[in-house]
Amino acid sequence: MELVERIIKILDEKKAMNIKKLDVKEDSTIADYFVVATGTSSTHVKALADNVEETLKKENIYPNKIEGYNTSSWILMDYSDVIIHLFTEKERENYNLEELWENTKEKMNK
């Protein structure tokens, strides 16, 4: 199973909400995919991050970096080709990554 699909499955099993896969490989040099998901609370967001990290470690897949874990309203997990963004609902609405990347694609295609 491709890493991005594995991550989505792990998040879904822990009841992450509104999971989206954004294909950014043509628009970004930092990753091929962003996975964006929402937790029901900061505790849930941390639990999602913990579960992804623990599950993938068992498969010898380790993150390059994890940011935002202490605040837990937006946790970013960098797995090279896949960057995971885990948000509380409020933070996800505030940053609106899906719209930001959609607008980037539209501007680049003009």
pLDDT in tens, 5-62: 999 999 999 999 999 998 887 777 788 899 999 999 999 999 999 999 999 999 999 9
Which 8-state DSSP code applies to residue 5?
H
Q: In terms of DSSP bridges, do strands 17-23 and 65-67 run parallel, antiparallel, or are they unpaired?
A: unpaired
Question: Global pTM?
Answer: 0.88
Domains held by the chain: number:
1
If one counts every other C-beta atom within 10 angstroms of the C-beta of residue 5, the result is 13
Domain that holds residue 49: 3-108
Adjacent-strand bridge partners of 36: 20, 85
Q: What is the CATH number of the domain that holds 104?
A: 3.30.460.10
Band of residue 102 on the pLDDT scale cut at 50, 70, 90: low
72, 58 contact by CB (below 8 A):
no
